[in-house]
């Protein structure tokens, strides 16, 4: 089945550690996104990528990094520079760059807790 | 800076009630407004509204875009417990490079 797979679903991290969240899609979508969701704050955009080897910062990129080496994959690294990383992280994709975003397809999310 | 505000923040109703969720926006060069339902983890798409399609309906759910008032409503009639979820509104602007701005969501709880 086509879709977006995020892993791990749950992750615990000690302060000062970097962690990488995986996101893979087999929908052949051009555009991929990372959102952060905190209670009562909806979704905030961290990074997005419209094409391989290119990505743009969203509203809250500080303390995060991404790569887009393959069309299907868009991993997110939460670095030790991120001051408050405990959150629910959602990866999403949409069909084509340069056209309206239209429907976003979401993964099941990764819940990161910093101990 | 684009801005999307949803109200109410949360809502508790009983099965069979009708609810109206609100979404207001401030965006330069409005392109579309989208509604999503998030039950547990992954949000799922409900509707997309544009200047050429300001009203959408699917079963008990319907949505209207008011471009004059810069707002949209999502109506759910004859609510069921399965409608309990967070409802998210997002807007897209022209030349925004595939970026959506999301509101804070409305948490709906439907009691039996």
Query: What sign does the dihedral B37-A46-A115-A17 (CA atoms) show?
Result: positive
* pLDDT for residue B8 is more than 70: yes
Q: Do A42 and B6 touch (CB under 8 A)?
A: yes
Query: What sign does the dihedral A29-B40-B8-A36 (CA atoms) show?
Result: negative
- A54-106 pLDDT per residue, tens: 999 998 999 999 999 999 999 999 998 888 899 999 999 988 765 666 688 99
- B14-57 pLDDT per residue, tens: 999 999 999 999 998 898 999 999 998 889 999 999 887 788 99
CA-nearest residue of chain A to B50? A102
Alpha-helical runs (H) found in B2-99:
none
Find chain A residues with C-beta within 8 A of B48's C-beta: 102-103
Residue B2 — pLDDT band, cuts 50, 70, 90? confident
Numbered residues of chain B with Cβ closer than 8 Å to any chain A Cβ? 4, 6, 9, 31-32, 34, 36, 41-45, 48, 88, 90, 92, 97-100, 102-105
**Contact at 8 Å (CB) between A36 and A84?**
no
| Residue whose C-alpha is closest to residue A64's, from A56, A52, A54 | A56
Could you give the CA distance from residue B59 to residue B9 in angstroms, rounded to a whole number? Answer: 24
- B48-92 pLDDT per residue, tens: 998 877 889 999 999 999 988 899 999 999 999 999 999 999 998
Give the strand order in the sheet containing B71-76: B3-7, B19-26, B71-76, B61-66, B55-58
Q: Which residues contact A39 (CB under 8 A, 6 or more apart)?
A: none
Residue B104 is predicted with a pLDDT of: 93
């Amino acid at each position: 089945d086509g879709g977006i797979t995020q892993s791990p679903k749950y992750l615990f991290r000690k302060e000062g550690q970097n962690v990488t969240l995986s996101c893979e899609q087999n929908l052949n979508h051009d555009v991929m996104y990372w959102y952060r969701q905190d209670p009562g704050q909806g979704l905030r955009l961290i990074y997005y990528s419209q094409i391989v080897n290119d990505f743009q910062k969203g509203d809250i990129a500080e303390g995060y990094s991404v790569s887009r080496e393959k069309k299907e994959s868009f991993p997110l690294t939460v670095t030790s520079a991120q001051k408050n990383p405990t959150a629910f992280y959602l990866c999403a994709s949409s069909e084509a760059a340069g056209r309206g975003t239209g429907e976003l397809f979401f993964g099941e999310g990764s819940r990161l807790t910093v101990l | 800076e684009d801005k999307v505000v949803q109200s109410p923040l949360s809502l508790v109703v009983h099965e069979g009630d009708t609810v109206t969720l609100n979404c207001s926006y401030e965006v330069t060069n409005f392109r579309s407004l989208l509604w999503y339902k998030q039950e547990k983890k992954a949000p799922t798409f409900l509707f997309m509204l544009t200047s050429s399609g300001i009203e959408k309906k699917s079963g008990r759910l319907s949505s209207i875009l008011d471009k004059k008032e810069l707002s949209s409503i999502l109506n759910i009639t004859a609510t069921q417990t399965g409608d309990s979820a967070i409802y998210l509104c997002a807007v897209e602007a022209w030349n925004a490079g595939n970026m959506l701005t999301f509101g804070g969501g409305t948490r709906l709880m439907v009691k039996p």
